[in-house]
Structure 1
Amino acid sequence: MPTLPPGRPGRLAGNEPHTQRNVAQSYGADVERYDRTRPRYPDALVRRVVAAGPGRDVLDVGAGTGIAGLAFQAAGCTVLGVEPDPRMAAFARRKGLEVEVATFEDWDPAGRTFDVLIAGTAWHWVDPVAGAAAAARTLRPGGRPALFWNAFDPVPEVADAFGAVYARVLPDSPVYQRAMAGPASHASVLDRASDGLRRSGAFGGFEQWHIGWDRHYTREEWLDQVPTFGGHGQLPPGRLEALLDGIGDAVDSLGGAFTMHYTTLVLTCVRAS
């Protein structure tokens, strides 16, 4: 999923996602659309993370509107969210999730510790080194961070149709053209997160899980979601309109609806004693 800002993360420090807070903060401009349209996470992910953790006290980093945290809460976990955008935090609270407003790197746990730390499509906004140190402080020995992202994994027909629109409307933003490349599009994100955790010296037993699932979209449902993709909310209105028109035509060419295959990518490890 193109939730990362344009550019080539990892090449220069100034291009790393966690330094581009203006993009991260743009999601809260239309919080209801974000919550309504963003894909959820598969039940298989929640079950596997809960089963792998030593307990059910969960910290949700980058809680957003509560999409991930509420799924774990429904599975019987006690969840506390940390979210830097007060608009998103307020929305999540209205839905029943306890949330504190702060960036994770600056958040004060006040002595609280947790069994599991989750971050749903959010850890790329966290400094990978400072975030790993904060995770080490807040997880109990044997605790488990589970960082996960939904990646588009479309059939070639869908990838080609959407890729052609991005190439035409946003030729200077190849990151969007690569967004339909499947799980490989998130390789640098996973590598950066893994490197930060390893450098902390506090974690071992690293694993990556891939969980596939499908969602069917109508034309209207997909177009409703597009403005929430990373960086899209900052496009000039004319460019966003052209993009939506082109994608709408592409969906029409696919019969007016299509099924998107997703792969949820999970990076997890264990807090050493």
Structure 2
Amino acid sequence: MPTLPPERPDGSADRAHRDRRTAESFGADPERYDRSRPRYPDALVERITAGAPGPDLLDVGCGTGIASRQFRAAGHRVLGVEPDERMAAFALRTGIGVETAAFEDWDPAGRRFDAVASGTAWHWVDPEAGAAKAARVLRPGGLLALFWHVFRLPPGIAEAFAEACRRAAPDAPFDVGAVRDREAGAQWSLLDAAAGGIRAAGGFGAAERLRFDWERSGTREEWLDRMASSGALTRLPQERAARVLEEVGAAAEETGGDLRADCATVALIAVRAG
């Protein structure tokens, strides 16, 4: 399993947690979010399960419970923490226990865990405060496992999405141009910001970086469904988001047929010191 080389952060990832408007916008349509977001690689779930000293797992920013359900199926006792009440309500309906709070403000009430995991959500957490909180709630030898999907959109789709987003949201507090090639450093900077927070907080050993490659195939409608659940669009008024999807849909029509993209899931795993 290849590890990732260190990359210098561009400074944007460690500021994302301050953008609460986007962070708490995904619950506008939790059903679409849950059906369109890909699941995490089995190999990643197995790596975390094998490394954790016990079954108790805390899922930070659990959203609709996508990762939580995978960890539950692997034998974990899962508790989710989620700031958006709408997302938390969806996860609860799937049988995941969820407490509604921002992780930095959440009260563990003396509970301890064998793993703290966060799937495509840790960038909405203050990297140093979040790592310090994780260190407090983890048992010695417990894992802090942070992971994100990396998408390289099909040719023509990335350009259309970036340009349409730039016109629809010129004041957006994120670099929409990064969607042209998400593997060109955008997600690596998330790992760097998270690793910096872990080092600053203390209490952990050296963080390990992992990468799991996979391919995503889908129809035009499935790709548009996925894009509609992205932070680039969930914070926009509905009519502006619809215009973006219309433009991207037109570009997708030109490609015809099945749309394929190379993807990866990147992970940062650190062990709580004894």
Aligned partners of 1:90, 1:240: CA distance in 2, in Å? 24
Does the CA-based 8 Å contact 1:59-1:114 persist in structure 2? Answer: yes
1:235 counterpart = 2:233:
no
Aligned partners of 2:165, 2:100: CA distance in 1, in Å? 36
Does the CA-based 8 Å contact 1:80-1:97 persist in structure 2? Answer: yes
Alpha-carbon distance, 1:134 to partner: 0.4
The 1:238–1:86 alpha-carbon spacing in structure 2 relative to 1, beyond 3 Å, is closer
Aligned partners of 1:78, 1:259: CA distance in 2, in Å? 35
Alpha-carbon distance, 1:235 to partner: 2.4
1:166 corresponds to which letter in structure 2? A
Cα displacement string for residues 152-195 of structure 1 (whole angstroms, at most 9, x for unaligned residues): 034xxx24442144225525468222224243221221111110
Equivalent residues in 2 for 1:30-41, closer than 5 Å = 30-41=29-40
3-state DSSP class of the match of 2:256?
coil
Cα displacement string for residues 99-125 of structure 1 (whole angstroms, at most 9, x for unaligned residues): 111111111111111111100000001
The 1:137–1:12 alpha-carbon spacing in structure 2 relative to 1, beyond 3 Å, is closer
Task: Give the structure 2 partner of residue 3 of structure 1.
Answer: none
Equivalent residues in 2 for 1:86-101, closer than 5 Å = 86-101=85-100
1:179 corresponds to which letter in structure 2? V
3-state DSSP class of the match of 1:55?
coil
Task: Give the structure 1 partner of residue 118 of structure 2.
Answer: 119
Cα displacement string for residues 196-246 of structure 1 (whole angstroms, at most 9, x for unaligned residues): 111111111311000011221111111122221113122244432332122
Q: Give the aligned CA root-mean-square deviation in angstroms.
A: 2.0
Alpha-carbon distance, 1:11 to partner: 5.7
Cα displacement string for residues 28-52 of structure 1 (whole angstroms, at most 9, x for unaligned residues): 1111111111111111111111112
Does the CA-based 8 Å contact 1:162-1:250 persist in structure 2? Answer: no
Task: Give the structure 1 partner of residue 266 of structure 2.
Answer: 265
Identity of aligned residues (%): 49
Task: Give the structure 1 partner of residue 203 of structure 2.
Answer: 202
1:181 corresponds to which letter in structure 2? D
Aligned partners of 1:120, 1:237: CA distance in 2, in Å? 26
3-state DSSP class of the match of 1:261?
strand
The 1:221–1:11 alpha-carbon spacing in structure 2 relative to 1, beyond 3 Å, is closer
The 1:166–1:191 alpha-carbon spacing in structure 2 relative to 1, beyond 3 Å, is same
What stretches of structure 1 of length at least 5 have no aligned partner? 1-7
The 1:248–1:58 alpha-carbon spacing in structure 2 relative to 1, beyond 3 Å, is same
The 1:118–1:221 alpha-carbon spacing in structure 2 relative to 1, beyond 3 Å, is same
Does the CA-based 8 Å contact 1:159-1:180 persist in structure 2? Answer: no
- Size of the aligned set, in residue pairs, is 261
Task: Give the structure 2 partner of residue 26 of structure 1.
Answer: 25
Task: Give the structure 2 partner of residue 177 of structure 1.
Answer: 177
Aligned partners of 2:91, 2:142: CA distance in 1, in Å? 25
Does the CA-based 8 Å contact 2:13-2:189 persist in structure 1? Answer: no
Does the CA-based 8 Å contact 1:226-1:232 persist in structure 2? Answer: yes
Does the CA-based 8 Å contact 1:81-1:100 persist in structure 2? Answer: yes
3-state DSSP class of the match of 2:72?
helix
2:251 corresponds to which letter in structure 1? A
With normalisation by structure 1, the TM-score equals 0.89
